[in-house]
Structures are given as C-alpha cells and as structure tokens.
Structure 1
Amino acid sequence: MPVYLYWGEDHYRLNRAVEALHAQVLDPAWLSFNYDKIEVGSSADAATQMMQGFNQAMTPPFGAGQRLVWLINPTLGRQDSEDVVSELERTLPALPETSHLLLTYASKPNGRSKAIKLLQKQAQTQEFTPIPPWKTQLLIQSVKQAASEVGVKLSADAVELLADSIGNDTQRLYCELNKLQLYAQQQSAALTAEAVAKLVPATTQNSLQLADAIRQGHTSQALTLVADLLAISEPSLKITATLVRQFRTWLWIKLMLEAGERDERVIAKAAEVRNPKRIYFLQQDVKSLRSPQLRQVLKGLLELDVSLKQGQNSTTVLQTKIIELCQLCQMPAREHHP
C-alpha cells in the first residue's frame, strides 16, 4: 500500500526520509506533473486541501515515474469531519500502485482518532523523535548508521567521541560527517578519535564542563561557561539537554549507592553508562552530594527546558537558573561548615 505516515520533532531526519521517497518514486523530467506538496492550514480550507490531496493521489501519473502527494500537518486527528474520514476510507484501498500518499506531522498525531487509526492500519509509519541525550548507546548507534550512509569509516573511539560531541543534533551530525568524509578521502584507514577531535568542535564537552561547575557549586565558572557557549551560538535547548543527561546519570549513581549497590556493572546498566569503568569516577563526582539535591537540580533543569521552549530570553533564564542550581549544590558544604 503506497501510503506513508511520518511524524516527529527531528525535522532533519524526517526531511531526509521524504527526500529519499521523493528520489525513489519521481522522475525529475515529470516532476511538475506528478508531485504535489500541500501545507494544510488550520483554517476552514483544511478539509478542502485534504480532499484535494486525496483526489490528486487517486490520479495516475503522467509520463515516466510515479506520483507523490505530500500533505504537511493535515488536521486528521484534530478535526475529523465525517466527509474527510469517508473520503479517506474510500481513497486508501483504491490508490493506484503508482501513486504515493505521504502525510507528515511535526508531533505525534492523536492515535485515538478514527482517521489516524485507519492510517496506522494501512500506512508505512515512521517516527522521527530525537534520541534522549542520556541514551548513550542509541546515540552511538545513530552515529554508526549515519557514518555508514555517508561512507565514513570511524574507529570505535571516534564513534563515541562524535556521540559525546554532537549528542542528538542530527543535522549537525551529518554536516560533520560530510566534512570528515572529505578528509577521509586522503587515507584508507578508519578515522581515529584524535583526527575527529581536530575537525569537530566538541561543544557538548563544554556543556559537560558546565555540568561539573554546577555540581561543584562554582557559580562564577558556570556563568563564564554559559557565556562562552552562547557566544559560539550553541543552542540553549541543547545545553540544557546535555545538563539533564549528566545530572540524570549522577542521580542514578547516587540512588544505587544509597541503596547499597556496589557492583559497577549493575550500576552502569541502571544508569545507562556504556563503560562500567566510568562508574568509579562518577561515584567520586557525587560523593559530596545527596540524592534530594540531585533531584532538585534535575527538577530545576526540566523547569529551565520548559521556560526556554516557551520562548523566554535564553541568556537571562539560563543565567538565573544556573545561579540557583549552583546554590543548590553548595548546600552540603554549608551544612558541614556552619
């Protein structure tokens, strides 16, 4: 069935999938006849636009190649009129094998609606949600897959460095891999972490330095690092994501230690730390902190994330929250030194 349902906030990966489908089914010479891109609005015209898309999808292609109709953010799942659902029920089973209907959403569509249930039964569904920044293994797999697509050979330590340096920024990942691919043409061996470090700015590492400064309660250093990151146009949401990832790991380590667990492999698995040998050093990091403090810091970081997504001034809200979090982490020292 040539029906596709793509959704997710990782717009770069979603658009790459659309481009791949575009290249697969369309003949460039007949593009103007066989390709329709319809951005569905939320106005009264939305139903008409979707009906138009369904009708176009029912039309056999002209000339060579096949037909592709792309509906962007259709209102299915939000405004399911009986006419639109009936038209969808009629269209899906009758689509010509040479016509392809693609529906994309910026966020997950309402799976309880009749129209979306119908689509999920008959469409090829793909989700393009950013990988959570603390899912280290998934980030590493993402780097391996992208490197394979671009045609770059990377050593294991280079893969890990890229995952740490870039996080879940897919667009930047492919940009850096394309740059590395040009460099790799000069040698046949896989690129090492040393070579990657020279070519890829490790902004995530600077965010990890910020996490360390907060953990130690070094307010002045933390504010300087924030200013440096913003000066190189590091996205504030990416900074926050790295901090969430690091403090989440520290919290898991502390909780496991307070529960009496001492097996580094067990702790590593619970905290999703790929290398159990890192656990010793992470234990030292949280030695002077208590789990309620780490919970409060993580809560504060999630509040920061919400504030940034609501459009508040990134510099002001970052500086204010960083000062607050540093003060939270200074509490043990104050308690031990009245």
Structure 2
Amino acid sequence: MITLLVGNDTEAIKRELTSLKAQTHPVWRDFNVHRFSSEQLSTAMMSALSVPLGEGSKLIIVEGCDFKQFGEMGLEILQPLSMLPKTTHLVFIATSIDKRLKVSKHLLSLGKLKEFNLIPPWRTDLIEQAIANTAKQMQLTIARDAVSYLAQAIGNDTTRMVKELEKLAVYAAGKRITKEQAILLIPTTTSNSLQLAQALLEGKTIEIVRIVGELRSRAEFPLVIVATLITQFKTWLWVKAANAAKRSEEEIASLCGLGNPKRMYFLRQEVKEVSINYLSRALSMLFELEVELKSGEKADSILPALLRICLF
C-alpha cells in the first residue's frame, strides 16, 4: 500500500502516523517501522521492497518530500513501486504536492492521497467542528457554548487543541465540561491575526502595536499574518460592496465563500461604519506589504505598514 500524507497540519499527520504504526505487530514493530528523509529515497525503496522481519507488516515513512526534488532520477528509483509487497505500507509526507509532476502522477496512480491542511483561522465554524469531533474521539462531552469559546481561545492550532482537550478530559473525569470550566482551565491569553484585523478595521493603533508585538514574540510568520489580514479585508470589502448592491444574504455568503450564512449579520455590523474606500485602500496596501515580504523585506516592516493604513 502507498499513501501520500500532504498538508501543513503537522499534528493531524502525526496522529495518522501513530494510527499506522499501531497496525504493525507490537512485538516486531521496532524492526519493521523505519523513517527516512527524502534524500534517502533509494535506501527507503530498498527497505520497502524487502519483506518484514518476523510477523505482521512493515511501515516505511519518507519525510520532507517536495516531489520536485526527486526529478527524473527519483522517478526511476520509484518505478518498482508496482512490485511493492502486500506486507509493506509506504508513506510519503509532504507539505504540498504538484499533481502535474511526473513523479506525482506516478505515485497517485499507485497510491492514495490524504490531505491534512490547517483550517483557515477565520473559519470558526470548521474549527468548532474539529474541536467537537476530536472531543468525541476522546469520549469527552463538552457544552456547545464551551466549544465556541474553545474555538476562539485556541484558534486553528491543532497541536494546542489536542493538548487542551486532553487537559479537559482529565479534569472532567467522565463528566460534561461547561463553558465556565473551559474558561477557568483554558483562558484566552493570546491574540491572533483576526483580532489584529479587527483592530486595523477600527483604527486602534495602540491595540495594533500590542497584537503585532505578541504575534512576533510567538514567532508567527509575517506572511501568514498578512495572508489572514488580506482574506479578512477581502471578505469585508465584498460584504460592503454586495450590501450596497442590495444582494441577498445567501448571494453575499456565496460570493464571500462563507460556509455559514448566519455570519453575514455580524460581518455587516462590523463594516457598517466603514467606507468602501477605506477597505479597498487598506486591501491594496496589504497586497503591497505581501509583495514586499515575499521580495525579502524584513519582518519588522509589518508594524509600520499597518500603522500607515490607519493614518491614510
């Protein structure tokens, strides 16, 4: 069997690997589970093509794949994949995959693709769903308003989500977790990019300085921060423009790519006192900032750029 685990949700990929390891024979696991870097592709293939030691199956993991780096030589190394023993599970791990590459097409023709991407931080509905599903897997019962609170407190950080839910499970001891208990055990002490977008929308310069400082202290990537700001301002601009054109909530939600039309009420309230001119100008300046960062501009430039948006 061949599986491609692709995406930037490292926690989800880690859990998937744990599940795959559990499928190997416990006595022979140390002998039949092997991890290789993408530079060791040839060695990984030799190991994959050999039969497992003792009983059970063999799990071969190739990490840090880009697929582009494999090239023609890598494609040649991977040709024997069709002869992979039924007792071997070969897993490739990558943050992304270009399906147009010959190597990618070859792997996808023989294996299965599983994608694990972080939920966008503004999709609170999907974050709530992920928290509820993970809690259910842990046999942890959480009140609905507690789930909503956790989505705000944790965001799309799946690693933290698992740790915090494990903490709640120990505390709950089989009982239902209320919102009050969730607030007590998991306080919201960190800011995120969506809070920064809101401060930028309202022109709160002191708040912008504080949040940017906090995000940078946590080593948040500037490009990720700016990407979130761009998406949020783009949504606000579409809502404002579509609202001016007197579109229905369903039409505006579809235009903005919102999975939950009920969110429209809150978005309309957020941009009620903001002009289209400000939103479009801010979005243009955010795009300029993104280009500068991609061109090698230092991360320290993000704060002055955001303050300029407030001042124009």
Band of TM-score, shorter chain: 0.7 to 0.9
- 1:9 matched to 2:11? The reply is no
Structure 1 residues 88 and 147, CA, compared in 2 at 3 Å: closer, same or farther?
same
Distance 2:101 2:192 in 1: 44
Correspondence list, 1:34-73, <5 A: 34-41=32-39, 49-73=40-64
Percent of counterpart pairs with the same letter? 34
1:103 aligns with 2:109: no
Cα 1:230–1:77 change in 2 (3 A) is closer
Contact 2:66 2:96 in 1 (8 A): no
**Aligned-residue offset at 1:95:** 1.7
**1:1-338 correspondence runs (5 A):** 2-27=1-26, 29-41=27-39, 49-74=40-65, 76-81=67-72, 84-90=74-80, 92-108=81-97, 110-185=98-173, 188-189=175-176, 191-202=177-188, 207-230=193-216, 233=218, 235=220, 237=222, 240=226, 243-261=229-247, 263-264=248-249, 266-268=251-253, 270-271=255-256, 272=258, 274=260, 276=262, 279-301=264-286, 304=289, 314=299, 316-328=300-312
* 1:302–1:273 CA distance, 2 compared to 1 (3 A): farther
Q: TM-score, normalised by structure 2?
A: 0.84
Calculate the TM-score normalised by the size of structure 1: 0.78
Measured in 2, the distance between the counterparts of 1:40 and 1:206 equals 34
Unmatched runs of 5 consecutive residues or more in structure 2 = none
Question: 1:258, CA displacement in angstroms?
Answer: 1.9
Deviation per CA, 1:182-212, whole angstroms, max 9, x where unpaired? 2221x622x2333222222335666544333
For 1:317 and 1:203, the matched residues in 2 are separated by: 25
Alpha-carbon RMSD across the aligned residues, in angstroms, is 3.0
Separation (CA, whole Å) in 1 of partners of 2:19 and 2:233: 38
Q: Tell me by how many angstroms 1:30 deviates.
A: 2.4
Looking at structure 1, the residues matched to 288 and 170 of structure 2 have their Cα atoms a distance apart, in angstroms, of 41
Following the alignment from structure 1 to structure 2, what is the Cα–Cα distance between the partners of residues 87 and 273?
43
The answer for unaligned runs of 5 or more in structure 1 is 42-48, 329-338
Q: Are the equivalent residues in 1 in contact too, given 2:119–2:127 (CA < 8 A)?
A: yes
The one-letter amino acid of 1:120's match is L
Aligned residue pairs total: 310
**What does the per-residue CA deviation read over 1:206-234, in whole Å, with 9 as the maximum and x for residues that have no partner?**
65443333212222332234335555x37
C-alpha deviations, 1:302-330, integer Å up to 9, x for none? 5556666788654x2332122122124xx
